[in-house]
Amino acid sequence: MVRLRIRCRCVALAVVVSQIFLGFWFYSQPLDPPKQFLKRLFSEGGQSILHLTDHEMSHYYTFFGKDLCVKEGVIPEKSSEGNCVCRKGWKGRRCGVPEVMQRAKWMQNEELSKNLQLRKRARRVILVTPFSYEFDIFETNVNELNGLVDIFVIGETNYTEPGSKASLPVLNKLKKEWLKDFQDKIIYVPVTESDLKKSSFMQNLVHTGLRLVSDIRPDDLFILTNGEEILSRDVLTFLKLFQGYPLPVKCQYREHVYGFYWRATKSINNTKPQVCASSFQFLANAFEYQVSRLQEGSVLEEDLNFFTTHEQPVSEWTVPDAGWKCHLCLSVQNIFRKFLNLPKSYRPKWFTESSSSMLPFIQRLVKFGQDENLAPIGKANTPSQENLPSYLWNNRENFNHLLKNPYETISIHNLV
């Protein structure tokens, strides 16, 4: 009887010990990105912090003996020590300078370009973007810039008119595991009505985003987009891996409306290139974290000489072909929802809250190539591999609505 009790106690102890070890093993396993995202989003006291880390040099460079070439721009099988053979569209001794950069005015200035050199430690990149139904654009940005952007700060607001609230479509999609493979590097910022009364949408995103990122270095890079912009991977590779180019950086995008099948012949809404890239140190010291001043690119005269060094010249310049801007590149239903969620003063003059009349009206705008101001967009464009982001081209069967006018062959009487 005594032996039986001892055996039972031993078995019970073994079960308890195994459960303890099983519990330790289970909770030590890394969460998949969607669960990590939800855990960060709803942790006690608000979102937890994401930590910036560094990649090994081999993540960005291919080594041939003691020499190196930039992975994005080199043809490895044709290269050797002392001889980097560049892919089409890339130049430089290390194949690290995309041709678009060669067209920038400052590159023709020997005083500005002589100190340009590759970095031994790549800048970490934080991309900040406000959101309003631009799911396809953000999905393209995330996949196109994967491996170059370290943290994506995205935000949306549910404020429309006083006393009314819009939905939060981005948050709802993220909860349903949208972009699940990238959620471990996404920071989501909800912007409230009270936030907007204090400062702009983008200012809120930058301010809150900075509080949720740790280990930022002075030379880390901030990229600002407006939600409709897709930055070229080639351009970001250059900005991430080189030092010695001037700050701040402005971006001029190829502009499209409704889809890549309508190419704008003039700037959409007469917008001028805005600052799209700055180092953390430059944002903090030259602009005092004020995004409006940064986007204007207005460096105070007394700051100009103070911040200019051989390693970091200060001179406003523009990347002439930095990527793509696809204005209102949404489904007709989402264009209607986007206008509906805007304050009335920001809506088009013709807009009403009646979906039955607005949906066919918007369809006609798309069909005939008129923007929200009823002005002609420009000319029809046939998208090709050379003039599209590679992610869109490689997945064009999923983005056919952005590559071909869906109403081109539909009779106006059949528009619904």
* pLDDT digits 0-9 by tens, 218-234: 999 999 999 999 999 99
Could you tell me the two tokens for 195? 């936030």
Domain hosting residue 353, numbered range = 330-414
Same domain, 290 and 382: no
Domain assignment of residue 37, yes or no: no
Q: How far is CA 91 from CA 169, 335, 354, in A?
A: 42, 41, 54
Residue 216's contacts (CB-CB under 8 Å, 6 or more residues apart) are 52, 124, 126, 210, 280
Domain assignment of residue 91, yes or no: yes
Same domain, 247 and 213: yes
Does 414 score more than 80 pLDDT? no
- CB–CB of 210/283 below 8 Å? no
Q: Is 333 helix (H, G, I), strand (E, B) or coil?
A: helix
Same domain, 180 and 78: no
Does 299 score more than 80 pLDDT? no
What average pLDDT does range 281-291 have in this prediction?
A: 83
The pLDDT confidence band at residue 139, using thresholds 50, 70 and 90, is very high
Same domain, 291 and 155: yes
pLDDT attached to residue 115: 82
CATH number for the domain spanning 212: value is 3.90.550
Mean pLDDT highest for which of 59-73, 146-160, 180-194? 59-73
Same domain, 350 and 300: no
Q: Which helix (H) or strand (E) holds 213?
A: strand 213-214
Domain assignment of residue 252, yes or no: yes
Domain assignment of residue 112, yes or no: no
DSSP letters for 237-274: HHHHHEES--EEEEE--EEEESEEEEEESS-GGGPPPE
Whole-number average pLDDT of the chain: 84
Same domain, 305 and 338: no
Q: pLDDT tens for residues 56-101?
A: 999 999 999 889 999 999 999 999 998 999 999 999 999 999 999 9
CA 310 from chain centre, in angstroms, equals: 30
Q: What angle do CA 366, 368, 373 make, to 5 degrees?
A: 70
Same domain, 364 and 268: no
Does 16 score more than 50 pLDDT? no
pLDDT attached to residue 310: 62
Domain assignment of residue 258, yes or no: yes
Q: How many domains does the chain have?
A: 3
Helix %, strand %, coil % of the chain (to 5): 40, 20, 40
**Dihedral angle at the C-alpha atoms of 50, 178, 175, 215, nearest 10 degrees?**
0
Q: Which of 105, 140, 169 is the last residue of a domain?
A: 105
Question: Full-prediction pTM beyond 0.75?
Answer: yes
What average pLDDT does range 30-42 have in this prediction?
A: 64
pLDDT attached to residue 6: 52
Same domain, 309 and 387: no
Tokens 């990229």 sit on residue: 223
Other beta carbons within 10 angstroms of residue 83's beta carbon come to 11
Dist. CA 367–CA 332, nearest whole Å: 11
